[in-house]
Amino acid sequence: QSALTQPASVSGSPGQSITISCTGTSSDVGGFNYVSWYQQHPGKAPKLMIYDVTNRPSGVSNRFSGSKSDNTASLTISGLQAEDEADYYCMSYSRSSTVVFGGGTKVTVL
């Protein structure tokens, strides 16, 4: 159950687009279409932003989108806004009904 690999930080100016990567293996990210993404503001509980690689829950802005290629999943935030400044975590189903998180990425809006 090794953690998925995410960049420690990503930054962008308001209005720009940024992409956060999440790299795993064929035993997790590459082997299943069960990647989800979570946003966490300081001192708050995580919030689901993307599930099943590309799907957005009701109420989540369409500025958030997900994709996957081989063993790497990505979260793209377009039209970056100040409120998007937070930590973002990817998560994937792994073997034998377990899940694994990424180490987290701090998004800074310049």
Partner 1 sequence: QVQLMESGGGVVQPGRSLRLSCEASGFTFSSYGMHWVRQAPGKGLEWVALISYDGGQEYYADSVKGQFTISRDNSRTTLYLQMNSLREEDTAVYYCGRGGEAWSFDFWGQGTLVTVSS
Taking the complex as a whole, the smallest distance from the CB of residue 95 to partner 1 amounts, in Å, to: 11
Q: Which of residues 43-62 bind partner 1 (CB under 8 A)?
A: 44-48, 51-52, 55, 57
41 binds partner 1 (CB under 8 A): no
From the list 15-23, 38-46, 61-69, 71-79, the region that binds partner 1 by CB under 8 A is: 38-46
Task: Round to whole Å and give the CA distance between 67 and 24.
Answer: 14
Task: Round to whole Å and give the CA distance between 68 and 21.
Answer: 9
93 binds partner 1 (CB under 8 A): yes
From the list 16-24, 34-42, 61-69, 71-79, the region that binds partner 1 by CB under 8 A is: 34-42
- Residues 6 or more apart in contact with residue 27 via CB below 8 angstroms: 94, 95
End-to-end CA distance of the chain: 35
